[in-house]
Amino acid sequence: MMPTFTPEQEEFREEVCELLCEDAVRDEIAQARRAPFGQEPGLLDVHRRLGKLGRLATNWPERYGGAGRTIVDKAILTEEMIRHGVPENVHSLGIDIVGNAIHLFGTEEQKERFLPGLARGEITANVLFSEPDVGSDLASLTTRAEPDGENWRLYGRKIYNMKAQHSDFALCAARTSTGPVNFSGITLFLVPLKSIGMIIEPVWNLSEERFDLVTLDGIRVGAEDVLGEVGDGWQVLNDVLPLERTGLDHSAKAERTLTALREHAPPGCEERLAELETRVRAARLLAWRCITDLHEGRPDKVHSATAKWYTSETAKALSVAAVELLGPRALLDARDPEAIAEGLFDASLREAPGLTLAQGSSEIMLFFVAGAKLGLPS
Amino acid sequence: MSGMDTAAIADFFDDELAPMVRRMADRPRTGEDSAESEAREIRKMVWQGLIGLDALDASDTAELAELLGSVLYQGPLLDTITARELLPDNDIGEAPVALAVTDEPWSVQDDRITARRAFVGFAAEVDHFLVGGVDGGGLRLALVSAGHPSITMRRYEDTGRGEAYGVEFAGTPVTTCAGSSAEWEGALAKARVRQAAYLVGLAQAALDHAVDHAKTRRQFGQPIGKFQALAFRLSELSMHIDATRLLVRDRDAAAHAAANLAAASDLARTVTTQTMQIHGAAGMLTDNDAQLYYRRAAVEAVRLGTPSQLRRESSQTR
C-alpha cells in the first residue's frame, strides 16, 4: 500500500522535482528524446548532477557514494525521474540491478571498486543474462567460464541486453560447471565491457533503444570478479531479479502516459480515462507495497510478481489505449514537427511489448503466482 | 462490376512476392536511400500486377481487402476503389487515387480548394486526390489532379514508417465535383467494410506467425505451444478472428460498418500485441515480422476512425 511519506521524504521529492524541472535538465531530456535513431544517449548530465548530490543511489551508504537514505527515498527518486521523462534504462540497469546486486552480494573490494562510480553517475553497467536461444528459461544458459589458472575465460553470446555500448562493465551469468540440474553451476561475473575479447554489435529493434549482441571471446576475468560464490549464481539471480520487480518504473510510466493522454484526449473519452486512471492508481499501490516490503526488510516474492505483472500490463494497456483514443496523431514520432506530447505515445507504443517480457515475462509471473500463492500443482 | 474473383490475386502474392509486399512500404529506421527507391520500384510493380489482374473490378472487394491485409499490402488500391465507386462516370481509369476526406472545414473559391489534410496515404504516388471538406453546403467532395503545383506535402515520421503524408492544397483547381454528403456516407460504409476485412486478414497473418513460432520455439524442454496457457490463448484469438470475419463478410455488413470496423480494430490490435508477447524479445527485432504486424495494426486500426468514434457513431445512427 501507499506509505505515509514523512515531511523529510516529501521535502526530498520536492528537491528532486525542482532539479528535474530546471530548464537545462528539461532541454537535455527533450534533446535525448529527439536524438537521431541509433544515437541514444548513455549517462546524462542530470545523472551526474544527481550523483554529485548523493541522490542517484541515495539509499547506499555515503562511503559508496550514496546518502545513507532509505529505499523509500530511492523509490521517490525513480518515480520522479520517470514522471519527468528522464530516460531510465541506464539508471535502472546501473543502480537498481547491477549496483544493488554488488551492494547485496559483493565483497568489500568490489563495492569500493564499483559503487562510488555508479552512484556518482560516472560509470554505468548492464546485465548479460539472455542468449540467442535462452530467454525465460534462464537456467538453460550456455555461456561458459573455463578455468585458466587462478582466472576464468568466458565464451558465449549474449543478446537482448541494452546499453552495453555505453556501459563500463556488465553483470554476466555463465556456466562454471555442468550437471544434471540446470540451475546449479551458474556463476555471476563482473566483466569489463571495454576490453579485448568483448565484441559489441547493435541489434536494431522496434523500440527506441538498440539491443546489443555481446560476444565473449575468451575474455579473462579473475577470482575477484566473481559476484557471490562460484556455482551459486542462480541463487543470486533469484534474489536479485525480484528486486527489479517492484514495478515502480512501469507504474510511473503508465502514469506519465495517462497524464499526457488526459491532456490530449478528445471529449467523449471520459469513461475510458476513468477506467485507465483507476488501473494506474492500483498499479502504483502494488509497486509501493513492494517498496514498503523492502523497506521493512521482508521482501515478498508473490507481492513482487503481482506488481511486475500488473504494472507492466497496465503500462502496455495505456500505450495501446492512447492510439485507440487519439487516433493517428498519437503515432507521430518525437522527430516529427507535428508530434504531440513530444512523441511520447509513439515511443511508449514501441516500448510496450518489451515491458511484459523483460525482467521476467508475464507468463513467468503468472506461473509463479499459480504455484506460490494459489498452491496449484505444476 | 465485371466479377473478377480474387483467386488469381491470391496466387500473385506467392511465397516469393508476399515477404516483399509486407516490407515494400516500411522504411527501416536504419535504412539507406537506395533501399527506399528499391521499395518504390516494388510498389510500382505490385500496382501494375494488381491492375493487370483486374483488382479494381473485383466482385467481392471485402474478400480482396482481407487478402491485401494478409500480406500487409500498402498502397492506393483500396482508396482508388472507393474513389471509383463515387465517380462511376468519371474517367479516372485505372489511375491511383488517394482519399483526403475529413469532416473539417475547407474553402472553395472559384472552383479552387484550400485545405490541409492529415494522414493521406501514398500522396507522393497517386495521380488524383479525392478531397472532402465541410462548408455552408455540408460535406462535399472534389477530385483534383495530384500534379498541380499548388499542392505541397510532407511525409510523417511515425510508428508506421510508411507512406502517410500531410497534404496542403493551396488554391488547387477542382477537376470535377464528386458526390454529395449522402453518397459519401454510402461510400464510407463500404470503405469501412473493406478496412475491417483488411484488419481481419492482418490479424490472421499475425496469428499464423505466432502459431508457427509456438510450434518451433523450445523453452523448458518443449515447444512453447505445448504450454496450455499459450495454446489456449492462440485458440481464443483464432476464434475471435473467425467471429469477426463472419461479421465483416455478412451480407448486411455495410449497415453495421462502423461497429464492425471498431471490432476489427480491437481484434487486430489484440492479436498483434499477443503475437509480440508470444515471440518474446525476438519479435521486437527489425527483421521479425511480429513487430511489423504490431506497427501496421496500430496504423490501420485507426485509419477510418478510432474505435470509440466508430462506436459512438454506430450508437447514434441506429
Cβ atoms within 10 Å of A206's Cβ, excluding its own = 24
The CATH number linked to A256 is 1.20.140.10
Q: What is the pLDDT of residues A29-56, one digit of tens each?
A: 999 988 888 889 999 999 999 999 999 9
- Residues A91 and A136 reside in one and the same domain: no
Residues of chain A with pLDDT > 90, as a percent, come to: 85
- Residues A161 and A264 reside in one and the same domain: no
How many angstroms separate the CA atoms of A369 and A306, rounded? Answer: 8
Cβ–Cβ of A136/B280 closer than 8 Å? yes
Cβ–Cβ of B302/A350 closer than 8 Å? no
Quick check: B1 pLDDT over 60?
no
- Residues A27 and A57 reside in one and the same domain: yes
The pLDDT of residue A239: 65
The answer to whether residue B2 neighbours chain A at the CB level (below 8 Å) is no
Q: What is the pLDDT of residues B41-53, one digit of tens each?
A: 999 999 999 999 9
Q: What residues in A contact B307, CB-CB < 8 Å?
A: 324
**Domain-ending residue, one of A237, A260, A292:** A237
Q: What residues in B contact A270, CB-CB < 8 Å?
A: none
Cβ–Cβ of A346/B158 closer than 8 Å? yes
Cβ–Cβ of B159/A346 closer than 8 Å? yes
Q: What is the average pLDDT value for chain B, to the nearest integer?
A: 94
- Å between B192 CA and nearest CA of chain A: 16
Query: Hey, which residues 180-199 in chain B have their CB within 8 Å of chain A?
Result: none
Least confident of A192-206, B1-15, B294-308: B1-15
- Cβ-contact B118, A328 below 8 angstroms: yes
Flag whether A377 is in a domain: no
* Number of compact structural domains in chain A: 3
DSSP-derived secondary structure letter, A35 = S
Q: What is the average pLDDT value for chain A, to the nearest integer?
A: 94
Whole-prediction pTM? 0.95
Query: Which of A324, A335, A378 to mutate to test binding with chain B, by most B CBs within 10 Å of its CB?
Result: A324
Flag whether A378 is in a domain: no
How many angstroms separate the CA atoms of B129 and B102, rounded? Answer: 13
Minimal-distance CA residue of chain B relative to A333: B158
Mean pLDDT over A327-337 rounds to 95
- Residues A259 and A363 reside in one and the same domain: yes
Burial zone of B1 (CB within 10 Å; 0-12 exposed, 13-18 middle, 19+ buried):
exposed
Flag whether A2 is in a domain: no
Task: Extract the C-alpha cell encoding B307.
Answer: 474505435
- Å between A281 CA and nearest CA of chain B: 23
Cβ–Cβ of B30/A328 closer than 8 Å? no
Query: Could you tell me the CA-to-CA distances from B225 to A130, A332, B210, B230, B240 in Å, in that order?
Result: 21, 35, 10, 6, 19
- Residues A303 and A346 reside in one and the same domain: yes
Cβ–Cβ of A346/B295 closer than 8 Å? no
Minimal-distance CA residue of chain B relative to A130: B281
Q: What is the pLDDT of residues A254-298, one digit of tens each?
A: 999 999 999 999 998 999 999 999 999 999 999 999 999 999 989
Task: Count Cα neighbours of B29 within 13 Å in the Cβ-side half-sphere.
Answer: 24
Q: What residues in A contact B158, CB-CB < 8 Å?
A: 328, 331-333, 336, 346
- Residues A368 and A253 reside in one and the same domain: yes
- Residues A230 and A141 reside in one and the same domain: yes
The CATH number linked to A198 is 2.40.110.10
Query: Could you tell me the CA-to-CA distances from B314 to B62, B196, B302, B307, B309 in Å, in that order?
Result: 20, 15, 16, 10, 8
Cβ–Cβ of A357/B118 closer than 8 Å? no
Cβ–Cβ of A353/B30 closer than 8 Å? no
- Residues A368 and A265 reside in one and the same domain: yes
Task: Extract the C-alpha cell encoding A123.
Answer: 560509470
Flag whether A76 is in a domain: yes
Q: What is the pLDDT of residues A349-373, one digit of tens each?
A: 999 999 999 988 999 999 999 999 9
- Å between A272 CA and nearest CA of chain B: 9
**Domain-ending residue, one of A123, A141, A176:** A123
Cβ–Cβ of A272/B308 closer than 8 Å? yes
Query: Which of B308, B311, B313 to mutate to test binding with chain A, by most A CBs within 10 Å of its CB?
Result: B308
- Residues A226 and A335 reside in one and the same domain: no
Instruction: Indicate the pLDDT class of residue A235, thresholds 50, 70 and 90.
Output: confident
A211: containing domain: 127-237
User: Could you give the 3-state DSSP secondary structure of residue B271?
Assistant: helix
Cβ–Cβ of A205/B309 closer than 8 Å? no
Phi, psi dihedrals of residue B159, rounded to the nearest 5°: -55, -35
Quick check: B318 pLDDT over 70?
no
Cβ–Cβ of B158/A333 closer than 8 Å? yes
The answer to whether residue B31 neighbours chain A at the CB level (below 8 Å) is no
The CATH number linked to A66 is 1.10.540.10
Instruction: Indicate the pLDDT class of residue B317, thresholds 50, 70 and 90.
Output: confident
- Residues A30 and A107 reside in one and the same domain: yes
- Residues A271 and A318 reside in one and the same domain: yes
In this complex, how many residue pairs, one in chain A and one in chain B, have their CB atoms less than 8 Å apart? 121
The pLDDT of residue A240: 62
**Domain-ending residue, one of A207, A237, A267:** A237
- Residues A135 and A114 reside in one and the same domain: no
Q: What residues in A contact B28, CB-CB < 8 Å?
A: 204
